């Protein structure tokens, strides 16, 4: 397969609207599930996907050239997929255990991603399961690290339900309501980029804090 073709495929995978138009609701739920707890799902566009889905749900069903998504099933499905994805990640981490940390780096697995999720746990404890929902990459690895560290299962389930609901409903409804604003409707790509940029702010802040602490240790 040629490099240009790979580039086209990668662009399609990272394009939320293209994914929704191609895979539909079931495919959307599958991506949310994978991005929530599968090791290979960290690169998928979780936040922008939910935002775009909400945006499309706000489009009138009578408009032929708009992909209208039913809001009710969309919200319920996203929440269930998000919670189920984290549950799978937790059980996977608990079963695999320390072997996960001995796994060599590859294209789809980097120790730094696990360490980033572990740093969140060290700082926020069980609340990480909720907070990580809004941080790309950490969102994927947090439930796995929770399983590896054998977090109390009942505690994990409670925070998982809260986090999955807040994320699945909150980001989707943000897209739904902003989709009814003319400026956003006419500049969907810019709006998606803004959502992605905002979701990356926590990571940027953590990196800045880490760099400030390192010199102090020296």
**pLDDT tens for residues 157-190?**
999 999 999 999 999 998 888 877 777 667 767 7
Per-residue pLDDT for 4 more than 70?
A: no
Question: What pLDDT, on a 0 to 100 scale, did the predictor assign at position 10?
Answer: 41
Assess contact for 156 and 163: CB atoms under 8 A. Answer: no
DSSP 41: G
Per-residue pLDDT for 60 more than 70?
A: no
**pLDDT tens for residues 61-78?**
544 444 568 889 999 999
Per-residue pLDDT for 216 more than 80?
A: no
Judge if pTM exceeds 0.85. Answer: no
In terms of C-beta density within 10 A (0-12 exposed, 13-18 middle, 19 or more buried), how is residue 211 classed? exposed
- Structure-token pair, residue 47: 């936040």
The residues near 187 (Cβ < 8 Å, ≥ 6 apart) are none
**pLDDT tens for residues 78-107?**
999 999 999 999 999 888 866 766 666 655
Q: Which residue has the higher pLDDT, 163 or 1?
A: 163
Map out the domains of the chain as residue ranges. 3-217
Per-residue pLDDT for 205 more than 90?
A: no
Q: What's the mean per-residue pLDDT of the chain?
A: 76
């Amino acid at each position: 397969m040629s490099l240009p073709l790979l580039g086209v495929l990668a662009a399609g995978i990272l394009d939320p609207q293209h994914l929704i138009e191609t895979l539909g609701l079931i495919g959307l739920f599958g991506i949310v599930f994978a991005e929530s707890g599968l090791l290979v799902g960290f690169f998928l566009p979780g936040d922008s996907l939910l935002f775009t889905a909400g945006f499309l749900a706000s489009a009138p069903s009578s408009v032929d050239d708009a992909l209208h998504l039913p809001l009710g099933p969309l919200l319920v499905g996203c929440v269930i997929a998000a919670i189920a994805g984290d549950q799978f990640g937790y059980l996977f981490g608990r079963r695999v255990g320390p072997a996960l940390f001995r796994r060599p780096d590859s294209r789809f697995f980097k120790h730094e991603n696990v360490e980033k999720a572990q740093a969140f746990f060290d700082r926020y404890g069980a609340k990480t399961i909720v907070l990580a929902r809004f941080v790309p990459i950490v969102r994927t690895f947090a439930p796995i690290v929770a399983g590896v560290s054998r977090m109390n299962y009942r505690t994990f389930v409670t925070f998982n339900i809260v986090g999955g609901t807040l994320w699945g409903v909150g980001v989707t409804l943000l897209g739904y309501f902003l989709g009814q604003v003319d400026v956003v409707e006419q500049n969907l790509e810019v709006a998606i980029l803004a959502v992605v940029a905002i979701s990356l702010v926590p990571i940027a802040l953590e990196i800045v804090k880490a760099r400030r602490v390192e010199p102090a240790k020296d």
